[in-house]
Structure 1
Amino acid sequence: MTDLAPDGTPGDSLNYREITDGRGRVYRVGETDRELLGGRSRKLMVYLPWLAMMAIGVSEYAYGSAEDTLSHAHHWAQGDAFWVLSVWVFFQAGIAFPAGWLRERGVLTARRAMFLGAALSLLGFTALSHLGGVLAVICGFGVIGGIGSGLVYATCINMVGKWFPERRGARTGFVNGGFAYGALPFIFLFNYAFDTGDFHEVLDLIGVYVLIVVAGCAWFFKDPPKNWWPPDIDPPHYGGNASSAASPVKNPPAARQFTPGEAVRSGMLPLIWVTVVLTAGVSVFGISFQVDFAREVGFGPLVAASSMGLMSVVNGVGRTAVGWLSDLWGRKSTLVFVIVALGLAQFGVIWAGDIHSEGLFLAFAFLSGFGGGAFYPLFAALTPDYFGENHNATTYGLVYSGKLVSGLFGGGLGSMVVTAWGYDGAYALAGGISMVAAGFALLLHPPGSTRIRDVTPDPRPISRETT
C-alpha cells in the first residue's frame, strides 16, 4: 500500500491498517493528513478549492449582468446571449462524469485536471471577448470555457469530500459557496464599468485572473488514498459517539461502496438526477433572467445590480450554511426545505414586480439566491452518503450531469417561455417545477440496508488488516 506523490500518483509507502466494520465497510487509518500532504494540514484542501471556485464563478453568476453589453457589442439577436449561457452550463455540468471516470482510473490527476481547466477557461473568455459570431462564441465560451470551468468545479468538490469524510456537509458547502459569491465584484463591474468601449480589455483580464488563481491553487492539489480516514477520529461503527455533530445518525454512511452502475440500478441515483434537473433548471432561470426582469418592471440599474449581487452572496453563503445544517438536521430534510424555499421565491418575485416594490423584490431575490445555490452542496454530500466515497468522482459526475439538461430549459428554453408567456408566466412555471422537485426529494432514501440502528457502535468483531 502506498502514499501519494506530489502529482497525486502512488509514491512512498506508509504504515497504515484497514479496519473493516461488521457491515463490510473499510476504513484506512494510521496516516495523518500532514504525512500525506508533506507537512501541510488537510485544511489546505478546503481553502484552495474554495479560492479556485471563487475564481470560476464569474463565468455563470456574473454572466447575466454582462448580457446586454455583449449583445450590443456582438450584434446578437434577442435570446442569443441566453443560449450562450445554456451551452456553457451544458458542458460545465457534462464534463463532470467523464472527468471523474478518467480521475478514478489514474489517467487524469487532480492537479492536471485543474491546470487543464484553468487554460480552457482562459480560452473561453478570450473567445467571448474577440469572437463576434454567436456560433463562434458558443463554441469558444460555451463549449471550451464550460469544459474548463466544469473540470475545476468537479475536481474541487470531490477533493474536499475525500479529505473530510467524517463531516463533509459543512466543508463541501463552504467550498461550493465560493462559486457563487466569488462573482460579486464582477456583477457590479459588469453593471457599472462594462460597455462596448472596454469589453475586450475587461474580459481578457478576467480570463487571465481565472488562469492565475486556478493554476496557483492546482499546484498543491493531491488526493488521499482510497478509504482514507483521519486517524484521530473514530470511524462510524467503531466506537462512534451518537451525540456528536459529526455523528452518522442523521446521515448514515453508505451500506457499502456502490459502483456507478450499481448506484444507477438501485433506483436512487436516477431519482436524484431528475431532482437535480428540475431544481437546477429553476436556479439557472433565476440567474439568467432576474436582472432583465428587474429592468422590465422599471427598477433602476442599482436595484437590478443589487438584486443579482444579493442573489450571488446569499447563494454562496447559503451553501455554506446548509452544508453545516445538514450535518445536524440530515441531508434529506435540509434538501426539501431548500427546494421549497426556491419555489416560493419564484412566486414572490412575480408579486414584487406586480406591485412594483423594490424592497420585496430584493427580499425574494435573497430567498431565490439562497434556494438556488444551497441544494448543490447537499447533493454533493448526499451522493457519497448514499453510494460511498470510492467511486464518488464518477457517481457525483452522473448526479451533477443533471445540470446539463437543466441549463437548456433554464436558459435557452426559458427565454422562449418568457417570449410566449411573459415574465409572470415563466416565473410561475419555475415555481411549480420547484415544488415538483421537492416532491421527488421526499422519495429519496439510502439504498441498501442503512438505517439509524445500523449506525450505532457495532458490537460484532472488527477485523483489522495491518499492511
Structure 2
Amino acid sequence: MQNIQKGKNSMETKVKKGYGKGWALILYAFLAYFTATAVGSAMNAASGTLSELRGWNAALLTSFISLGSIANVVAGFVFGKLSTKASAKKLSIMCSVIWIAVVVGMGVTTNLWAFAFCLIIANGISSALGYQLAPVMISKWFPKRKGIIMGIVTMGIPLCSGFATMMYQAGYAAMGSLGGFLPFIAVLVVALIVLVVFLADDPADKGFNPDNGAEAEAEEEKGINKESIWTTQKLLSTPQVWIHGLTLGVQLLFASGLMVQLFPRLLEIGFDPGMAGMMMLASGLLALPGSYLCGVIDSKIGARKAAYTSYVFGILAMLLNLTGNTVCVWISLVCIGMVVGGAANWPASLCIEEFGDSFANGYGIIQPMIQVVGAVGPAFFAAFYGMTGSYKIPYICGAVLMFIGLIGFATLAKPGFAKKEEEKYKK
C-alpha cells in the first residue's frame, strides 16, 4: 500500500514538472510584448508609404511616435493603478478590443489628425497590454520562476522590431493601407483567443498551481493584496521607489536611444547602407537570445544582481563600437542585444522580488517612471550629435551614462526596502 502511495506521488510530481498549462500564459505574454512595440516599429515603413499614398508629411508622421511614448507613460500609470483593483484579464480583453479598433482606424482613415489620434491611443494601449498587465498575470502564475518566464516572453519585443517592417510591407502590398496593419491585428487576435479561452487571473481557476507545482510559501501570497500599504501616495513618497525607477530607467534610455541612432552610426563608421541594414536586423535578432539569457541569469542569481549585467554590457557596447573595428562592432551588437533584453526583463522581475503579492501596486508606479526616463533616449543621443556633428561623442556619453547608472544602482538602490517598510506597519 505504501509503495502504491509512493508511486501515486511520483506520478503527480511528473505531471507537475515543466510549465504545463502555464505555456498558454507564456504564449499570450509573448504575443502581448510583440504587440507592445508593433505600432512604433511598423511606422518605420508606414511613414514613407503613407506619405506617398495620402500626401502626409513623413517627418510629421514619425513625430507622432514621440507622442505615442507619452501615451505609454500615461497608460502605464492608469492601468498600473487599475490592475490593483480589477482583473488584469478583463482589463487586457478591454485593451485588446480598443487596440484592434484604433489600428483599423489607422488603416482606413484619410484624415491626418484622426490617424494621429488612433496611433497615439494604439501605442499607449499596447504598452499597457505588454509592459503593464501581462507581468501582473505572470507574477501570480510564476512567482518563483518569473526570471526565466520574463526572459522568454520579452523576446517578443526584438522579434517585432526585426520583422515589423517586412510584415507591414507584405500586408500593404497585398491589401493596401489597411492591409499593412492586418498582420499585427492578426497577432493580437490570436493572443486574445488564448487569453479568453485558456487563462484566468488566478491560476487555480485553470487547475494550475503557481510555478506549476512549486508550493506557495503562504496563503496570503496568492492573488492581489487589496490591503497593501503600497498606495500611490505611499509609493511616490518612498525614496527607494524613485531611485529604482530612475536607475533602471537609465537602461531603457540607453537602449531606446541607441537603437534609433545605430543605423547612422554604422554608416558613419564606414559600412554601406546594405550592410548597415543587415547589422540593424542582426542587432534586433541578437536581442532574442539576449532576452532569454537575461532570464536564465535572473533565475540563477536573482533580478537585482542580474540587473548589473546590463550596465556592464552597455559600457562594453559603446567602447567596442568606438573602435570602428568590424569584429568589435559585431561584438558590440551582441552586447546591445543583452542590454535591450535586460532593460525589458529586470523591472518586472525585480518588482516581483521586492513587492511580492503587492507587485501590481509597486510595478504600476515604477514601470511608468522607467518609461519616462526611457523616452529621453532618442533626444539624449540626438542632442550630442547635434552639438558635435558626429556619433563618437554621443557614444562616449552613452558609456558614461551607463557607468553612472551602474554606480547609482549599486550604491543607492537598496534590496528588501519594500519588506522593511511593511514590517514598520506591522509593529
- Give the TM-score taking structure 2 as reference length: 0.76
Question: Please, which runs of 5 or more residues in structure 1 have no aligned partner?
Answer: 1-31, 35-39, 239-255, 452-467
1:376-391 paired onto structure 2 within 5 Å: 376-389=344-357, 391=358
1:339-418 paired onto structure 2 within 5 Å: 339-352=311-324, 357=326, 359-389=327-357, 391-412=358-379, 414-418=381-385
State the 1:79 CA deviation: 5.6
Q: Is the 8 A contact 1:130 1:200 kept in 2?
A: yes
Q: Is the 8 A contact 2:167 2:180 kept in 1?
A: no
Choose from 137, 159, 175 the match for 1:181. 159
Choose from 291, 294, 300 the match for 1:322. 294
> Which digits, 9 at most, give the CA deviation of each residue in 1:175-218, with x for residues without a partner?
1222222443324456x869999872552323432442232233
Seen in structure 2, the aligned counterparts of structure 1 residues 304 and 64 have a Cα distance that, compared at 3 Å, is farther
1:43-58 paired onto structure 2 within 5 Å: 43-58=23-38
Who is 2:214 aligned against?
Answer: 233
Who is 1:84 aligned against?
Answer: 64
Seen in structure 2, the aligned counterparts of structure 1 residues 259 and 318 have a Cα distance that, compared at 3 Å, is same
State the 1:436 CA deviation: 1.5
Aligned-partner residue type, residue 78 of structure 2: P
> What RMSD over aligned residues (CA atoms) do the two structures have, in Å?
3.8
Q: Is the 8 A contact 2:254 2:374 kept in 1?
A: no
Residue 405 (structure 2) pairs with residue 437 (structure 1): yes
Who is 2:396 aligned against?
Answer: 428
> Which digits, 9 at most, give the CA deviation of each residue in 1:288-336, with x for residues without a partner?
2223433455534443332232222222332222122122223222111
Q: Is the 8 A contact 2:30 2:156 kept in 1?
A: yes
3-state SS of paired residue (2:389):
helix
Seen in structure 2, the aligned counterparts of structure 1 residues 198 and 149 have a Cα distance that, compared at 3 Å, is same
Seen in structure 2, the aligned counterparts of structure 1 residues 171 and 268 have a Cα distance that, compared at 3 Å, is same
Question: Please, which runs of 5 or more residues in structure 2 have no aligned partner?
Answer: 1-12, 220-226, 421-427
Per mean C-alpha deviation after superposition, the further-off stretch among 125-134 and 422-431 is: 125-134
State the 1:131 CA deviation: 5.8
3-state SS of paired residue (1:233):
coil
Seen in structure 2, the aligned counterparts of structure 1 residues 235 and 350 have a Cα distance that, compared at 3 Å, is same
1:34-433 paired onto structure 2 within 5 Å: 41-61=21-41, 63-64=43-44, 69=49, 80=60, 82-106=62-86, 109-126=87-104, 128-129=106-107, 137-188=115-166, 200-219=177-196, 220-224=198-202, 232-236=213-217, 258-260=229-231, 261-295=233-267, 297=269, 299-352=271-324, 357=326, 359-389=327-357, 391-412=358-379, 414-424=381-391, 425-433=393-401
Aligned-partner residue type, residue 282 of structure 1: F
CA distance in 2, matches of 1:49, 1:154: 11
Seen in structure 2, the aligned counterparts of structure 1 residues 167 and 217 have a Cα distance that, compared at 3 Å, is same
CA distance in 1, matches of 2:181, 2:22: 34
State the 1:272 CA deviation: 0.8
CA distance in 1, matches of 2:254, 2:47: 19
Q: Is the 8 A contact 1:113 1:152 kept in 2?
A: no
Aligned-partner residue type, residue 181 of structure 1: L
State the 1:135 CA deviation: 5.7
Q: Is the 8 A contact 1:88 1:142 kept in 2?
A: yes
CA distance in 1, matches of 2:253, 2:269: 23
State the 1:440 CA deviation: 1.8
Aligned-partner residue type, residue 27 of structure 2: Y
Q: Is the 8 A contact 2:80 2:365 kept in 1?
A: no
Aligned-partner residue type, residue 133 of structure 2: T
Q: Is the 8 A contact 1:79 1:415 kept in 2?
A: no
Seen in structure 2, the aligned counterparts of structure 1 residues 271 and 320 have a Cα distance that, compared at 3 Å, is same
Q: Is the 8 A contact 1:117 1:149 kept in 2?
A: no
Seen in structure 2, the aligned counterparts of structure 1 residues 223 and 434 have a Cα distance that, compared at 3 Å, is same
State the 1:416 CA deviation: 4.4
Seen in structure 2, the aligned counterparts of structure 1 residues 364 and 449 have a Cα distance that, compared at 3 Å, is closer
3-state SS of paired residue (1:445):
coil
State the 1:395 CA deviation: 1.6
> Which digits, 9 at most, give the CA deviation of each residue in 1:244-283, with x for residues without a partner?
xxxxxxxxxxxx9651444444422111111133221111
3-state SS of paired residue (1:83):
helix
CA distance in 1, matches of 2:93, 2:395: 39
State the 1:408 CA deviation: 3.4
State the 1:143 CA deviation: 3.5
CA distance in 1, matches of 2:158, 2:345: 12
Greater RCO (CA < 8 Å, at least 6 residues apart)? 1
